[in-house]
């Protein structure tokens, strides 16, 4: 039932064209997380059929993802931070813990934001701690756009190349997700090594 409802929702909004893609990706990136592949893979297929433009699909997806990320970022920054500062002690989040999180994101926010945007189940949530910790808006925006752009293009190209071959899409999507996660592990490892080397040289 839920799958049918989701499919109906996606189809209804895709009928709106590029604005529908923007709205779905904004929702996916903010308060109602759902798999972005059910939006962008069909859109990529429509581009392959000549019914949509692949560049405009990408831009609509990117701007939608950014809009959703900003909703979470500014919501956490303006409302969430005040609530945690006032009531955090009741859920064992002290002011010192907030300060540690803020210090962490000021130092490591870019790598955390970029990698978080590429991890399923985390990509929608990474904007919240960034906002809570008052991460600088410019690096947040740049690394959110980079991560969201890479993932969106992967999904659009899958739809463009594989079309309606559902079994191939599921197999390749699984393999690509594993490859992305493996690449992120290596990237984080290299980043940690560089930080340790810098600290040792001081």
Number of Cβ within a 10 Å radius of residue 125:
13
Its pTM stands at 0.76
CA distances from residue 97 to 131, 133, 153, 189, 192 in whole angstroms, order as listed = 15, 10, 37, 25, 22
pLDDT, residue 126, reads 84
Q: What is the distance between the alpha carbons of residues 10 and 21, in angstroms, rounded to a whole number?
A: 9
Q: What is the distance between the alpha carbons of residues 80 and 71, in angstroms, rounded to a whole number?
A: 12
**Tokens, residue 93:** 């989040």
The per-residue pLDDT string of the chain (202 residues; one tens digit each, 9 = 90 and over) reads 445 545 665 566 567 788 888 988 898 888 676 677 778 888 888 888 888 899 999 999 999 999 999 998 998 888 876 666 665 554 445 566 666 666 767 777 788 888 888 877 777 778 888 888 888 899 999 999 999 999 899 889 888 887 666 565 566 566 666 666 677 677 667 666 776 666 666 5
Four-residue CA torsion sign, 137, 141, 144, 146: negative
Q: What is the distance between the alpha carbons of residues 125 and 73, in angstroms, rounded to a whole number?
A: 9
């Amino acid at each position: 039932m839920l799958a049918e409802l989701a499919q109906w929702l996606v189809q209804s909004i895709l009928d709106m064209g590029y604005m529908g893609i923007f709205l779905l990706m904004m929702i996916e990136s903010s308060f109602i997380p759902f798999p972005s592949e059910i939006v962008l893979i069909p859109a990529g297929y429509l581009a392959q059929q000549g019914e949509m433009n692949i560049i405009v699909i990408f831009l609509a997806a990117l701007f939608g993802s950014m809009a959703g990320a900003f909703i979470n970022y500014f919501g956490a920054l303006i409302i969430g931070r005040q609530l945690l500062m006032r009531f955090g002690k009741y859920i064992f989040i002290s002011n010192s813990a907030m300060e540690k999180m803020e210090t962490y994101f000021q130092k490591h926010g870019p790598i955390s934001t970029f990698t978080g945007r590429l991890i399923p189940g985390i990509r929608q949530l990474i904007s919240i701690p960034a906002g809570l910790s008052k991460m600088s808006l410019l690096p947040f925006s740049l690394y959110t756009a980079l991560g969201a752009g890479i993932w969106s293009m992967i999904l659009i190209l899958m739809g463009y190349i594989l079309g309606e071959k559902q079994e191939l899409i599921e197999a390749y999507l699984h393999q690509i997700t594993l490859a992305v996660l493996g690449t992120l592990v290596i990237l984080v490892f290299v980043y940690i090594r560089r930080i340790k080397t810098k600290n040792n040289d001081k």
